[in-house]
Structure 1
């Protein structure tokens, strides 16, 4: 992208934007809401043509960007939607199965054309790695919180808005790409799926451009940053943390250069003013001419349009802020929380975390009195004033102008005071007359914070406050909560925010809350150690199972060997018995032949010989009977 500018009518959105993305690089884009971050992605995709400059994309490169409308046209099940980018290959797989069946049925009548088509299609399927599609789609679905097996029958029409968002992300991540464009991918993710996404992006073989307000994600994934500010974009090399350092240094250098030039200009103006009508008038005119041609440096971008929030409690309140006793919360037949008891004390910042759908928002609503409990009770003393920032921003009345919203909360304020307060949150001029219904998500979030500041509460409850805010506004909110002299209950998937603020962690899972008495960073470390211990235990268990299986196999092999050996010995014994029988039968036949000879009885010696042969014949027959008995035992 070189010298790119974008204008809409008289409005200049971007100017002189220049950067290039190399293969396998990971770029993070940050900037205030409305500064043009998503417009940059549209330029890269080719959905928008620049008003100036050029965008060059290698021919044939595959660029993937999530469908923001999430229409999922042509797909009915979750798995079919996630595998949408592979629809052609999956159809080819079915065709190959049908061709193989046809070839088998044809037998000797198979034609060369049939074989050529099958070989050609099979080569293409293998070349495009068709056999890995199912495993790839399953892995992405599982990573984003779906059951891959159930996804094959689960209808897209049954999904919630958040689930559709995760499905759209799954469809994008599973698709083959040379460049992956991601616009706030963590908005519908919980902590576990965010960590999975982080690892997945780190392992992608393609380049990535990532718009995100998740500072931890940016810090762990990107190696380049693009800061959209003051209608242009400045590239930086390094992680998000390195970008923050370089940005501060750059702004300091800009401020010094601006102040130095301003001082020099002031001196020149003073000289020209004093000497324009005197004897040094000619020099003064020359200096004025040179000064008029001097390129003027502007001040570094300031805080215009950013948020300046500050939370101040009107009263200190008591030391016990929330007392919960045997609390039970259910949604229909499903129990979200059961038998929960705790005490929240003044000054604590509690981070409530857990997978999506476990009931975190429902718990906050119940704690703040907006929902009845199934059992137990929550007691908040009269000295505690609660301010509640809702995830759906429902506290902002959509049918009123911004001015009227604040004026209704502060009847005694002058018009200037109302406008001044709104100005702290980035609303100035005629924008204060806008209806709240016309605001973007980020603007609604700032309006909700403007209202929350006026509560002067000593208990602040936040439900995903960073969802619609840009990075700079999140940093302002983080500072405001950090300086707040009260108690905070915070639901968020923003790890940087949680690490900076939380002093106690509630982990909600399977209807129970694990109460961890430490910071979020300590909880992460403890969780990692538990996970490592579980992996080690699982590995040891697997080794034991493998050893037992090997022993079982070995015993079976030994038994088989013994059986084979016994069979061999039995076979040899049978053969020996049969040989003995044959030998005895031959001897009997020989004796019978001798006894049948008439000459044997012609002499007295012959008669005696016949008597001896008769005895031998009887003995041989008894021996033969015994031999047959032994043979029968063997067979």
Structure 2
């Protein structure tokens, strides 16, 4: 369907990748993988037609529709949510309005024999053929299904898009893409700003209703559930696997094992021939053999072994003083904003050393409860921290709160105390900021780099209550794995809010569900909770359609 032919990209004399060839077929569900900086987003932009390759081309049939959702995108501020989402059908509405205008012209004009009149008739005929060939669709109903599936409520439909955060605007743009029913959907980190229920809805849509899909994501469960093919970008080349991500990892290990074996055999072959050349160089009877082997070695293409991304950050939470038995106690807590009640009469008791997860749709009060615990907002009821509690808090927007004018080193130096100040470069090195990197300004860092830097700030002081609100956004898979291992080893109390099911699994032994103005305590692991709710949530969403 879509052919990527001999694509190459070069920046300032450096080749990002070259000689890339692959075909995207109808109904392919592709995970585009590779270490940060390998060129995944660049590749996707080229397929989307948003960026030109240095060499090569992308070709597809004339009427192919390709829809692209980048990592960062804002909708316009001059329309309501439903108006913005309905722009997915703007070409249909424009066609309908144009036909209405032309038919009006035909009714009022009297120059029946003129060329202009005949051109109008031809255009009406052509437009009518296209318009009436379209599937009979209830556009309002389709817009409502998509918006509700992505977490919007009916009362949100008439609100201005300017009232919503960047994450919610991203959902509006995603709804527009899904409504277009394109031949290929390109998604760059689509799950970063949507809750678990919306991710499940999106999975269901991509698997059962979308045509071809190519996705970049650090959400392992998401890509495993939707993809049947993995294209890896590494060392300027691609490897194409007809397998989902988990299976691809095993196949990649097998490939590296074969490469290592072939490399070692080749090195032995080279060594044997070099030994022969050195031994018989200058021996008249062996001149032809020596020359032949020298030419052979000159032409020999050295086998390369795929690089392994060992740059993941290494986390270790410093030990802290022991807190009281109950670091967090909430009694009959109610929070309202005007006429809107977020939750009422909520009760919660978190014991020392417990790891708990807050789950629920966006807007149900998870972040509001965190702000109540931290004393950042007013509320009715009681919410208190226990004896000797030292809080470490990582907010969703933590990375954006960094001062863009400071360097990486200065950012950490501001909060470092005592002997830690002499170890700043070593600490930053453990978070993949090495050498001259520490002199970079925050303003030039990527989202992932800012998140890692914000995490460094959090970890400089010992805490015994750790509150993490979406900590994995913009972290790559390997970094998330190491963070997860550190959290499993953390001996303090953990409150975790995350939409990333793979990251959540195995972490929390208790779940607090935020739903319908209530906070419901579940004495089960997050694994059990997610398994029990997955099918139910999809059915609930289907009932709204």
Q: TM-score range by the shorter chain?
A: 0.7 to 0.9
- Report the alpha carbon displacement of residue 155 of structure 1 after superposing the two structures with TM: 2.8
From 336, 342, 345, the equivalent of 1:339 is 345
Distance verdict in 2 for CA 1:401–1:219, change over 3 Å: same
Cα distance per residue 1:258-280 (max 9 Å; x no partner): 455567767888999999999xx
**Which residue of structure 2 aligns with residue 6 of structure 1?**
9
Q: Please say if 1:502 is aligned against 2:505.
A: no
Stretch of structure 1 that moved more, 254-263 or 79-88? 254-263
The residue that corresponds to 1:56 in the other structure is: 59
Rate the CA distance shift 1:450–1:19 in 2: closer, same or farther, 3 A: farther
Matched, 1:522 2:528: yes
1:20 aligns with 2:23: yes
- Matching residue within 391, 397, 411 for 2:396: 391
Deviations 1:524-573 (A, max 9, x none): 233357669999xx9xxxxxxxxxxxxxxxxxxxxxxxxxxxxxxxxxxx
Q: TM-score, normalised by structure 2?
A: 0.84
Pairing 1:178-197 to 2, within 5 Å after superposition: 178-197=183-202
User: 1:352: Cα distance to partner?
Assistant: 0.7
- 2:65 and 2:538 map into 1 onto residues whose CA distance is 38
**Counterpart selection for 2:499 from 493, 498, 511:** 493
Give the secondary structure class of the aligned counterpart of 1:320.
coil
Q: CA deviation at 1:299?
A: 4.3
Tell me, yes or no, if structure 1 residue 250 matches structure 2 residue 265.
no
Would you say the 8 A contact 1:215–1:471 is kept in 2?
yes
Q: Contact 2:234/2:306 (CA < 8 Å) preserved in 1?
A: no
- Aligned counterpart in structure 1 of residue 243 of structure 2, from 238, 243, 264: 238
Partner of 1:419: 425
The correspondence for 1:166, drawn from 162, 171, 180, is: 171
The farther-off stretch of 253-262 and 359-368 is 253-262
How many Å separate the matches in 1 of 2:61 and 2:477?
A: 31
| Residues 444-459 of structure 1 mapped to structure 2, 5 A cutoff | 444-459=450-465
* Structure 2 counterparts to residues 115-134 of structure 1, below 5 A: 122-134=128-140
Q: For residues 104 and 7 of structure 1, what CA distance do their matches in structure 2 show?
A: 58
Pair 1:101–1:300, CA change in 2 (3 A): closer
**The 10-residue stretch of structure 1 (453-462 or 269-278) with the greater mean CA deviation from structure 2:** 269-278
1:200-233 residue CA offsets vs partner (Å, 9 max, x unmatched): 1112352111112222221111111122233333
For residues 52 and 253 of structure 2, the distance between their equivalents in structure 1, rounded to whole angstroms, comes to: 33
- More helix as a share of residues: 1
Output the CA distance in 2 between the equivalents of 1:405 and 1:63: 41
Distance 2:130 2:41 in 1: 36
In the alignment, does 2:366 pair up with 1:363? no
SS of 1:154's equivalent in the other structure is coil
Question: Which of 118-127 and 477-486 deviates more?
Answer: 118-127
Per-residue CA deviations over 1:352-405 (Å, capped at 9, x if unaligned) read 1111122322322332344454431212321x4332221101564444221223
Q: For the Cα contact (< 8 Å) 1:322–1:381, is it kept in 2? A: no
Which is greater in Rg? 1
Seen in structure 2, the aligned counterparts of structure 1 residues 338 and 378 have a Cα distance that, compared at 3 Å, is: farther
Cα distance in 1 between the residues matched to 2:435 and 2:371: 35
TM-score between the two structures when normalised by the length of structure 1: 0.73
**Relative contact order (C-alpha < 8 Å, sep 6+): which is higher?**
2
2:326 matched residue in structure 1:
320
Distance 1:314 1:266 in 2: 56
Q: Does 1:156 align with 2:168?
A: no
**What count of residue pairs does the alignment treat as equivalent?**
528
